[in-house]
């Protein structure tokens, strides 16, 4: 009998959707929802996360917090912040987003306006299934400097260079830490629990930092 992986998210695609319709849908749906929308060139994807998806998202968020704490980096968590740019007609709602380098510029803000505010310094997309729109193009158009994507087994890191993403080995935000090893700690939570694994992860981060001094 062949084992099948549990469903982690559902994706619905709508074609030939105008930018104005997309913006109207965002307004009508409000922010009190689990579904996340992404729009690129007339194609709208509606992704609804299920438990495996959200669990991975929350675990990685906890690890990002540990990384910031141990490296002495101030941060602001902005979750699935709606990111849109009217001038390029692209938009997305990442699973998680963070201000780190530019945290001081938005520290006291309750609302982010990309017409005047910088985009998040780091966004994460959890993608157990193949997305129906090109997230690399979306976040590049929004000028997000660093993009992480986790497919359930591999964490890939991309940085923005001259308007396009390039995959890199090390995150420039956490340069001394090989963050691509995070998936093994996600797997460890299934055996040891999240609290115990987070302590293990913190100890590993400290070891990486001391080893690079």
Q: What is the structure's pLDDT at 175?
A: 86
What is the pTM for the complete model shown? 0.93
Tell me if residue 39 falls in helix, strand or coil.
Answer: strand
pLDDT value for 5? 56
Q: Where are the domains of the chain?
A: 50-211
Structure confidence by residue, pLDDT tens digits, 17-29 = 999 999 999 999 9
* CA–CA separation, 50 and 48 (whole Å): 7
Q: pLDDT of 29-57, one tens digit each?
A: 988 888 999 999 999 999 999 999 999 99
| Neighbouring C-alpha atoms within 13 Å toward the C-beta of 80 | 20
Cα 193 to its chain centre, rounded Å, is 23
Q: In angstroms, rounded to a whole number, what is the distance separating the alpha carbons of residues 131 and 185? A: 24
Q: Tell me the three state secondary structure of residue 176.
A: coil
Q: How far are the Cα atoms of 18, 37, 150 from residue 141, in angstroms, in the given order? A: 17, 16, 21
- Here the tokens at position 166 are 């390039």
pLDDT in the model for residue 3: 45
Give the integer Cα–Cα distance in Å for 82 and 60: 20
pLDDT of residue 33: 85
Q: Options 1.20.950, 2.60.40, 3.90.1570, 3.40.50; which CATH number does 50-211 get?
A: 3.90.1570
What is the rounded CA–CA span in Å between residue 159 and residue 150? 15
Please report the beta strands in the chain, taking only residues with DSSP state E, as ranges in sequence order: 9-14, 36-40, 43-49, 76-77, 83-85, 90-92, 96-99, 122-126, 146-150, 155-161, 164-168
| Average pLDDT for 140-149 | 98
Question: Residues 66-124: pLDDT tens digits?
Answer: 999 999 999 999 999 999 999 999 999 999 999 999 999 999 999 999 999 999 999 99
Nearest to 158 by CA among 89, 94, 79: 94
b/e map 148-180, b = 16+ CB within 10 Å: bbbbbeebebbbbeeeebeeeeebebbeebebb
Q: Which residue has the tokens 């964490």?
A: 155
pLDDT of residue 210: 87
Is the per-residue pLDDT at 4 higher than 60?
Answer: no
């Amino acid at each position: 009998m062949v084992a099948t992986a549990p469903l982690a998210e559902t994706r619905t695609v709508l074609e030939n959707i105008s930018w104005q319709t997309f913006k109207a849908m965002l307004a009508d749906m409000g922010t009190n929802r689990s579904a996340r929308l992404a729009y690129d060139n007339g194609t709208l994807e509606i992704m609804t996360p299920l438990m495996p998806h959200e669990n991975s998202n929350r675990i990685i968020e906890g690890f990002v917090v540990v990384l910031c704490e141990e490296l002495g980096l101030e941060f602001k968590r902005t979750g699935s912040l709606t990111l849109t740019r009217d001038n390029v007609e692209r938009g997305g709602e990442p699973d998680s987003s963070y201000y780190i380098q530019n945290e001081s510029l938005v520290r006291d803000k309750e609302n982010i306006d990309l017409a005047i505010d910088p985009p998040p310094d780091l966004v994460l997309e959890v993608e157990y299934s193949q997305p129906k729109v090109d997230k690399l193009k979306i976040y590049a158009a929004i000028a997000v400097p660093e993009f992480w994507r986790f497919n359930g087994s591999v964490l890939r890191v991309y940085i923005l260079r001259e308007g396009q993403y390039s995959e890199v080995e090390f995150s420039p935000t956490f340069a001394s830490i090989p963050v691509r090893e995070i998936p093994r700690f996600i797997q460890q939570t299934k055996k040891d629990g999240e609290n115990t694994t987070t302590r293990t992860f913190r100890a590993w981060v400290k070891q990486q930092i001391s080893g690079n001094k």
